[in-house]
Structure 1
Amino acid sequence: MRWEDFRRSENVEDRRGSGGFGGGFGGPGGRIPGGRGSLGIGGLIIIGLIAWATGINPAVLIGGADILMGGGDDSGYTQQQSPAPSGKQGAPSDQIGQFAATVLAQTEDVWTAVFKAQGETYQDPGMVLFSGATRSACGTAQSAMGPFYCPLDQKVYLDTSFFQEMKQRFRAPGDFAAAYVIAHEVGHHVENQIGLLEKVQARQRQVSRSEANALSVRVELMADCLAGVWAHHADQQWQILEEGDIEEALNAASAIGDDKLQKQAQGYVVPDSFTHGSSAQRVKWFRTGLDTGSMGKCNTFQSSN
């Protein structure tokens, strides 16, 4: 993926190395893929099984459903009472920070143009880079949750070491695979901008756990499609794609399907507990957005799968 020569977004807050939670709270200890502290593989399996029983899978790489399904006040979110720590504002100077800021900038430009073409105004989200754990308006952001979007403060939260986990643990390496992750979370911001998230949250509070999970799947698949829409327009405008990039993103989408993750964690699949969609669904919807470049094609709520 070509990204080095393009502008960086200034809507980035870098909290990495700021002491975890900040403000007197200690962050987690040394990390392993998908876990915290000295948690081992056995602990990961136990956590995976507990999460499966509650319908939330912390092994899922691309966040969103955890926040959508979270407890808290009537908004469906856990409000953070104490103020979040502040980090350095603007594009970071390190390579991974520069990469994240560049992808964010491209999503800003693409969605601004798409919304303008529809006679609407796009509001840029923020991005918080952190290490270990930090605070968000939706509650605690932890590395084990994976990247996620918080609608209450309209920010994407990302522990940049996650990209190394993609490569090592999930065998989904590559710059474009990492860009897909960021674009997916920005896709949730787009959903928030058009009022979809609020409607889904209200409906989730009225239905059963399995029905609420099914709604989360549709939200996640739509974000996959919107990530594809971003990639379509970004490549048209800046020719960012290189040989093998599309395969990287499709591989990442397949690696994080609920069916594949459940099979790895517990040996069998329970579709009613899916919160993000199967590997085939995630690949299908990302590909739909990439091929068409149309938001109108991303309405997963009018599709059977």
Structure 2
Amino acid sequence: MARRNRKHPSVVSSTTTSVVSSAVSSRMPSAAPSVVPSRAPSPSRTPTVPIQPFRFFDLPSELRIRIYEVLLWLPKPLDLDPINYRLVHPRLAVFLANKRMHDEAYPVFYSQPIRLFPTHGRFFHTKQPLLARLPLRYRNVVAALELRLGPGWSNPPRCQHTRPPIGLLDCTSLRTLKIFVEIDPSDTVFAGFRGKNATEETYKWFCVDLLHGILEQVPSLETVEIDAYPAVKKEAQLVMALRRKIEENGKRLVWGPLRGWEKEGDEPGLIGLEQALAGMGLGGSSLSRVVEVAA
């Protein structure tokens, strides 16, 4: 009688258990946490939230105007200049957003000072300064002009005039005129350099005539500010003549910050070389004493 091949009970039990466990694990997901970090969901599967546009015109009008000022105002007067394409042109893109934004923004942009006669060499002799090139509705909102005196003093260009084509009659909102005097050719140091048949008073009366033309054509003007470089004194003939013309027309005269002429005498202004000299004790009478000792 042949012996039956019987397996040891422990071997059968072990084999059965491993088979059952393998079958169960193949049919049921493992509850144990995976040691491999799960991958983030694909961006394409992430639910997208629609971006709501910012409702700019829901802001109060005062806040919108302040935003226009920060965006559009420049640190110096508007003028014809080759760099305007990089400095000014990008800012004016706000005009193209829509009609309402254009109508709100352009009065803010043209309320900043505009230089009456260009000083850059490329446009110095142009027949049409910036004011004359502006459309009528833009000239109507101009609030401040800058008249710079000194460039071309030996032979003032013919384009510097205040005749009607320049557009002053359209500046019905003009309130402030800023006059900046770079030099006063009436000083004796300019003798021999004033140009043909010119005297020490030629350029002075030329400047007074410019001021007279502005005052005559712009009755809305209220304030005239005079400022100058440190070389120009408060008692200079040009400055005194301008001051008399302003007072004759009943306009308010104020002094600019560079010279600081609102103080008594001819003290240093808030900016420039004179302030630095005054800080070192070399301004005013102190500087005169130093020169005397050195002599």
Q: Which has the larger radius of gyration?
A: 2
The normalised TM-score by structure 1 is 0.26
- Higher relative contact order at CA 8 Å, sep ≥6: structure 1 or structure 2? 1
Q: Which has the higher helix share?
A: 1
